[in-house]
Amino acid sequence: MTTFDSTPDSVAGGTAPHVLCAGDRFITAASLAEAARSAFGPGTRAVEYRTSWPDVPFGAVDGVREASGDPAELAALAADSEVVLTHLAPITRAVFEAAPSLKVVGVTRGGPVNVDLAAATEHGVPVVFLPGRNLGAVAEFVVGLMVTLPRSVGVASRELAAGRWDARYFRFELTGLELRAATVGLVGLGAVGSRVAELLRGFGSRVLAYDPYATPEAADKAGVDLVPLPTLYATSDIVSAHARLTDDTRKMFGAEAFAAMKPGAHFINTARGELVDQAALLAALESGHLAGAALDVFDPEPPDPADPLLSRPDVILTPHLAGASRQVALESVERVTAEVAGFLHSGVLDHCANPQWQDHGRHRT
């Protein structure tokens, strides 16, 4: 990892804030610094901190999750910072304790799990985050899987790469449905599920959804039919997981759920690996009850190389890529700096992960 002060001497020490820009190889420190200078003024002192994610995996660090970087290095760099902008850097208690001037942390993620929110609140520092920041990328990825999975693209590609030209997928019983003829079941009708439904309207699919929190108005807007979960399972040619991970939804896709699904259905999970009992999914595939699956998320991540799901030709596997697009990276930087700039100007936040921050510690609006 590399750190350096990217501000020219001629503007250092101006009235604009000192900003720590902690980036990686997806959302770069340079892009955060450029956006900070544009949003906060030309006198902004932007210190860049770089990590090697995704080339080096993220992990748990000092009480935070899915983080990349050294908290001690970040604490030293944040000592005189008023703003921290980051994607995955571990913004731990040590960072907050080392930064008495810190006013706000901006995180370019839908879930700022790399920030110690309790410590942020205790120190009176709001944490900006970006709900729905990658919903477009994820939704398009999901629809792409809905096109390719039933049409045997994954298994045919593997076979051709292995030197086998096999036209058996033209046999009637092995051909798959076009989306215009498919019934798609969405388990969860939040931002991503609603966008998937919107895209599927263009294909002419019948779309069902189960979401205990969705209103009839939201379903009408998305163009879906809200149905009980057993109905969705029994009717859908493709079942796609979009539920939030809670104690109630953990392992909700288990043996009972897979058994209730329509014989020959396909299952897709781009939400959270912990939603799925992977042993039960394997059993449903081995029995032939499910025709195939596509998994972008796993429990644990990365999965064990010996996991038998990884070697099955009827499973499409990707390493948590659904949210990776250039638009996500560029727009996330623009959104987070704009919201932080608005907060510094007016004290107002649209997306704050710790709304109790004003009740604790120091106030710096």
Q: Reply yes or no on whether 301 is catalytic.
A: yes
CB 196 within 8 Å of CB 137 = no
Question: Please, where are the H alpha helices in the chain?
Answer: 29-40, 71-77, 93-98, 117-122, 135-148, 153-161, 191-201, 216-222, 229-235, 255-260, 278-286, 326-346
Per annotation, catalytic residue among 272, 312, 335, 351: 272
Taking the C-alpha atoms of residue 198 and residue 236, their distance in angstroms, rounded to an integer, is 17
What does the DSSP assignment read for 87-109?
Answer: SS--B-HHHHHH-TT--EEEE-S
- Is 50 catalytic? The answer is no
Asked if omega into 54 is within 30° of 0 (cis), the reply is yes
Backbone angles phi and psi of 109, in degrees to 5: -140, 160
Query: Which residue among 151, 244, 320, 360 is the active-site one?
Result: 320
Q: What number of residues does the chain have?
A: 365
CA 152 to chain centre: 26
Q: Which residue has the tokens 């972008």?
A: 296
Cβ contact 292:264 at 8 Å: no
β-sheet bridge partners, residue 316: 294
The Cα-based distances of 244 to 128, 213, 281 in angstroms read 20, 11, 19
Q: In the sheet where 45-50 sits, what is the strand order? A: 2-5, 45-50, 18-23, 83-86, 104-107, 127-128
Catalytic residue chosen out of the listed positions 34, 301, 331, 334: 301
Catalogue the active-site residues.
272, 301, 320
